[in-house]
């Protein structure tokens, strides 16, 4: 039997089943232990320092107690602290991105994904470089600056060279209003050598969802193909970091296994990255299983309701306070609204989950990966965010100036992100408002920009931001 060791590079040791079971038992025993719950909540709360504030985060055991707790006032307290953390480290900014599906060819047998190899009626499609270009132009025409590329796993149809060509094409498409500035990559687990190539191609975050941390279920849910190998998949982030990628994004697909198990595994994975590489995950995504071509989510017994989903999100926020959190258009406007307050820092908008979907007039469904619940346009999403007090941000300055990995985390930990991110968000939002927004969105947007400029503490920084925004309005651009 493998022993728990967060510093080990072996999946079964850092995501150790025995330790997860132990953590879940401890959480169950203490779920009404008010004294302990209060202590954990106090530990999670941001503490003021001379330069800003700090958070200590929680261990997987502590966080599991909070997730098991069913006392309504305590859950409310968790939501309150989650919001406090979010505002302390991320402010009211929300980063916007869109997924770009390159290819749905796939050799794996994932039983929850319509791209699985035995699905014979889904049309298979892979974008040519000309088509990638056309999709990028369509996304740029909407106002996007940040993409997450998605592809099935197929060494013949989508080898790493294909992915690299696509990245090169994306960065080469110049647009009068500005180029795509950051390409995040969500492709199957691969080798150190290939991660090094992705790094050299200038990717942002490497994202890979674990799907489930439960080894036995994992093997059943991925019965065939290279993805069947649990250890290879679970150790992917270590290889990515060895290959020089320092921003990695974790996630589990909620609905496949028991959520308390997944939650403990996810936090342990974050602890492992911190222990071995000195930097935790850059982002955590919280996808929930959706209906898709030949997939009915009711086939799986572990679906979670919206309240539980909110509880999980808040507990992640408390456990890993400096990690960005992503919610996609898998969720409805109402769910996204609630979760934004509880710690989400990135959302997708105007998304199409089909291969080649952005260049088609009508939303196509035939090659779609899953049903999109939030089908609003990017303009509608941007306006909605602002009407709810969030600043939509198209900023990618950190990445372009090399503030990734531990350099990003240390800025975040010192509360400095807020000093430089807030003005950057307002400037990039102003660019969006000038170039793309509907009159209604523009009005709401500039009202928000005026108000938010007043919140910049340093006079000098505020003056620069005000001047830059004037320049943007007068079509005098700089690269923020």
Residue 479's SS3 state is coil
Q: Is 68 in the site for ligand SAM (CB under 6 A)?
A: no
Among 91, 225, 280, 287, binds ligand SAM (CB under 6 A): 287
Cα angle 194-410-56, degrees, rounded to a multiple of 5: 110
Q: Is 206 in the site for ligand SAM (CB under 6 A)?
A: no
Q: Is 225 in the site for ligand SAM (CB under 6 A)?
A: no
- Contact in structure between 60 and 34 (CB atoms under 8 Å): no
- Sign of the alpha-carbon torsion through 307, 312, 318, 320: negative
Among 61, 227, 341, 403, binds ligand SAM (CB under 6 A): 227
Give the nearest distance from C-beta 364 to ligand SAM in angstroms: 16
Give the nearest distance from C-beta 55 to ligand SAM in angstroms: 28
- Of 4, 1, 3, which Cα lies nearest the Cα of 268? 4
Task: Kindly state the number of chain residues that form the binding site for ligand SAM, as judged by CB under 6 A.
Answer: 21
Candidate ranges 16-24, 63-71, 195-203, 283-291; the one touching ligand SAM (CB under 6 A) = 283-291
Residue 408's SS3 state is helix
Give the nearest distance from C-beta 452 to ligand SAM in angstroms: 34
- Contact in structure between 5 and 13 (CB atoms under 8 Å): yes
Find the length of the chain.
480
Rounded Cα gap, residues 374 and 377, in angstroms: 9
Cα angle 426-411-477, degrees, rounded to a multiple of 5: 30
Residue 100's SS3 state is strand
Which ranges constitute the DSSP H helices of 152-258? Answer: 160-172, 192-200, 215-221, 230-234, 236-242
Helix 160-172 and helix 129-142: axis angle, to 10°?
Answer: 40
Rounded Cα gap, residues 431 and 464, in angstroms: 15
Give the nearest distance from C-beta 17 to ligand SAM in angstroms: 21
Give the nearest distance from C-beta 187 to ligand SAM in angstroms: 5
- By CB under 6 A, what part of segment 96-135 binds ligand SAM? 112-113
Q: Is 434 in the site for ligand SAM (CB under 6 A)?
A: no
- Contact in structure between 152 and 158 (CB atoms under 8 Å): yes
Q: Is 211 in the site for ligand SAM (CB under 6 A)?
A: yes
Counting Cα atoms < 13 Å in the Cβ hemisphere of 102 gives: 32
Among 138, 208, 241, 418, binds ligand SAM (CB under 6 A): 208
Candidate ranges 286-294, 360-368, 378-386, 459-467; the one touching ligand SAM (CB under 6 A) = 286-294
Q: SS3 breakdown of the chain: % helix, strand, coil, rounded to 5?
A: 50, 10, 40
DSSP string, 370-387: S--S----HHHHHHHHHH
Nearer to ligand SAM, 16 or 184 (CB): 184
Give the nearest distance from C-beta 57 to ligand SAM in angstroms: 25
Nearer to ligand SAM, 295 or 325 (CB): 295
Among 55, 273, 286, 295, binds ligand SAM (CB under 6 A): 295
Write the CA distances from 287 to 52, 284, 340, 439, integer angstroms.
Answer: 32, 10, 14, 33
Give the nearest distance from C-beta 156 to ligand SAM in angstroms: 15
Rounded Cα gap, residues 143 and 153, in angstroms: 29
- By CB under 6 A, what part of segment 1-60 binds ligand SAM? none
Convert residues 381-420 into a mask of x (bound to ligand SAM by CB under 6 A) and - (unbound).
Answer: ----------------------------------------
Nearer to ligand SAM, 112 or 408 (CB): 112
- By CB under 6 A, what part of segment 130-189 binds ligand SAM? 150, 152-153, 186-188
Nearer to ligand SAM, 45 or 365 (CB): 365
Using CB under 6 A as the criterion, which residues of the chain lie in contact with ligand SAM when the complex forms? 112-113, 150, 152-153, 186-188, 208-209, 211, 227, 253, 287, 289-290, 292, 295, 330, 369-370
């Amino acid at each position: 039997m493998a022993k728990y060791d967060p510093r080990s590079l072996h999946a079964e040791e850092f995501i150790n089943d025995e330790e997860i079971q132990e953590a879940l038992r401890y959480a169950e025993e203490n779920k009404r232990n008010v004294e302990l719950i209060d202590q954990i909540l106090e530990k999670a709360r941001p503490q003021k320092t001379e330069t800003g504030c700090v958070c200590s985060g929680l261990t997987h055991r502590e966080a599991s107690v909070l997730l098991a707790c069913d006392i309504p006032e305590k859950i409310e307290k968790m939501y309150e602290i989650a919001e406090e953390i979010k505002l302390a480290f991320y402010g009211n900014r929300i980063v916007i991105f869109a997924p770009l599906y390159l290819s749905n060819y796939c050799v794996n047998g994932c039983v929850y994904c319509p791209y699985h190899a035995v699905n014979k009626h889904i049309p298979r499609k892979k974008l040519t470089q000309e088509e990638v270009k056309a999709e990028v132009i369509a996304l740029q025409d909407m106002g996007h600056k940040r993409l997450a590329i998605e592809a099935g796993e197929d060494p013949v149809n989508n080898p790493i060279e294909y992915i690299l060509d696509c990245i090169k094409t994306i960065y080469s498409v110049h647009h009068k209003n500005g180029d795509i500035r950051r390409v995040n990559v969500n492709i199957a687990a691969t080798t150190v050598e290939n991660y090094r190539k992705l790094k050299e191609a200038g990717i942002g975050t490497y994202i890979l969802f674990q799907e489930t941390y439960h080894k036995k279920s994992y093997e059943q849910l991925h019965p065939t193909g290279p993805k069947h190998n649990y250890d290879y998949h679970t150790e992917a982030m270590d290889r990515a970091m060895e290959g020089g990628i320092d921003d990695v994004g974790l996630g589990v697909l909620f609905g496949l296994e028991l959520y308390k198990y997944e939650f403990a595994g996810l936090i342990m994975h974050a602890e492992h990255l911190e222990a071995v590489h000195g930097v935790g995950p850059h982002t955590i995504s919280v996808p929930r299983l959706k209906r898709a071509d030949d997939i009915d989510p009711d086939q799986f017994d572990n679906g979670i309701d919206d309240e539980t989903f909110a509880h999980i999100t808040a507990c992640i926020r408390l456990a890993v306070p400096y990690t960005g959190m992503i919610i996609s258009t898998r969720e409805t406007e109402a769910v996204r609204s609630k979760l934004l307050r509880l710690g989400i820092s990135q959302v997708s908008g105007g998304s199409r989950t089909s291969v080649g979907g952005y260049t088609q007039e009508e939303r196509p469904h035939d090659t779609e990966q899953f049903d999109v619940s939030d089908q609003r346009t990017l303009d509608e999403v941007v306006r909605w965010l602002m009407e709810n007090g969030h600043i939509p941000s198209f900023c990618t300055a950190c990445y372009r100036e090399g503030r990734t990995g531990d350099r990003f985390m240390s800025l975040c930990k010192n509360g400095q992100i807020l000093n430089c991110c807030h003005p950057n968000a307002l400037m990039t939002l102003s660019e969006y408002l000038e170039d793309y927004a509907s009159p209604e969105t523009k009005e709401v947007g500039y009202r928000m920009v005026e108000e938010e400029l007043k919140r910049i503490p340093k006079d000098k920084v505020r003056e620069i931001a005000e001047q830059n925004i004037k320049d943007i309005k007068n079509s005098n651009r700089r690269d923020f």
